[in-house]
Structure 1
């Protein structure tokens, strides 16, 4: 007898609910392929983590507050800073993601579903929301 993978079909919902319950996290929205988690941070900002199920992969994405109307408006010095930060991280990487027709700095992580357990799930989510919040704090200080 084989067990269905934790994230297959409707198991995605159940697994996300169980993993979040273990951490005491509330789920903002959940369906069979996407979960939205929101976190109130010490910075007084809210970070949103999207967990999206693909074929055999989960994509974790935390969009930052920094968005630009076009690639031409993306500040290259910040992109360079983010490339450097990405090289120093074991979990997560920075990218530019198109969201709502804008170019947004997002901290992401992709992982094979078979490698994810409750502890790894929590580790990834925490790493991404903290990294995004830290970057926002740094850039906001630079802008003052």
Structure 2
């Protein structure tokens, strides 16, 4: 069921995210009126960080990976091609490259209209993105070990 747009307006963003996280049992690492940060212990034992950023009527959910390059020209073509191909199979999220701390970072992201988000969608979306990012990091780590 879709929610009222007012629940995630700037003035209600913090209280709504807190309410959702409390009902799911998630802890919030940091929050302000336009951004929330949640940390998850992934299946691999690594910590994955979920950013939720408010843009007008849309929320951006993003989990940056540990796969970072100094410049886009350093990114292996096979990795980009594999992630672009994988994007076509996803119902939730897409791989992208975003600049974080001066590095070109592979992140899995999903943008959702605020009116479509309820606590169940919020939970499924967050968990799916964290799982996908963790799986990519494990695949790349194994490939590097075997290289």
Q: Is 1:61 the equivalent of 2:53? A: no
Counterpart residue number, 1:80 = 81
| CA apart distance, 1:22 | 1.1
Counterpart residue number, 1:140 = 141
Instruction: Tell which has more relative contact order, 1 or 2 (C-alpha 8 A, sep 6+).
Output: 2
Q: Is 1:36 the equivalent of 2:37? A: yes
| Structure 2 alignment gaps of length 5 or more | none
| CA apart distance, 1:9 | 1.9
Runs of 4+ in 1 over 2 A off after TM superposition: none
| CA apart distance, 1:51 | 0.1
| CA apart distance, 1:5 | 1.1
CA offsets per residue over residues 105-124 of structure 1, 9 Å max, x none? 00000000011000001111
Question: TM-score scaled to structure 1, two decimals?
Answer: 0.96
| CA apart distance, 1:4 | 6.3
Question: TM-score scaled to structure 2, two decimals?
Answer: 0.94
Does the CA-based 8 Å contact 2:13-2:34 persist in structure 1?
A: yes
Aligned length: 142
| Structure 1 alignment gaps of length 5 or more | none
Cα distance in 2 for residues equivalent to 1:73 and 1:4 = 42
